[in-house]
Amino acid sequence: MDQQLENTFLMALEQNKQKLLRVCSVYAEDNEDKKDLFQEVLIHIWQSMPSFEEKSSLSTWMFRVTLNVCLRLQTKQAKKRDRFMKLDSITIENITDEEANEEDHERLIKLRSCIKKLNDADKAVTTLYLEELSYKEISDITGLTENNVAVKIKRIKMKLLNCINVAS
């Protein structure tokens, strides 16, 4: 791979690393699993860089690769284990674990637990929405129409609200 491609990869990684890690964390069982998943994502992005056709932004493309890797590995793991895992008024603040007070930390744990219970498609849309991507970007990444993304987000918010209320 040439130096320009490597520099592009490293710059894009620097800009998107934390976001991609958060996407991986939704599909990971624990911190070690998240690191392994992220490493797998980086390998796929690196290997696919020469075929990037610039039909979307590089970050959008990286999200697409990340979701595809996460979903593919999750499917493989589910088959191995032979088991399945089974808001209009929700305002979600982007709080890191380090910034969270005890009450916020508990809310984050409940929210993450509820997100993990969503089906793969809803989990993907939710993760991208929480990363503050536009409906258009989510549409480009998932292949859904922007209207479908909007409807899904509204329905997912209701599911999450119900889940959080049950968990409380």
Report if pTM > 0.85: no
pLDDT at 126 over 80: yes
- b/e map 63-76, b = 16+ CB within 10 Å: bbbbbebbeebbee
Segment 135-153 shows an average pLDDT of 92
Residue 52 contacts residue 61 (beta carbons within 8 Å): yes
Q: What is the pLDDT, as a whole number, of residue 5?
A: 86
The mean pLDDT value of the chain amounts to 83
Q: What CA–CA distance (Å, rounded) separates 45 from 42?
A: 5
Residue from 165, 166, 137 nearest 149 by CA: 137
What the chain holds in terms of domains, given with CATH numbers, is 1-83 (1.10.1740.10), 87-168 (1.10.10)
What's the CA gap between 118 and 127, in Å, rounded?
A: 11
pLDDT tens track for 43-86:
999 999 988 888 889 999 999 999 999 888 877 766 655 443 33
- Kindly report, residue by residue over 6-48, the tens digit of the pLDDT: 899 999 999 999 999 999 988 888 888 889 899 999 999 999 9
Residue 132: helix, strand or coil by DSSP? coil
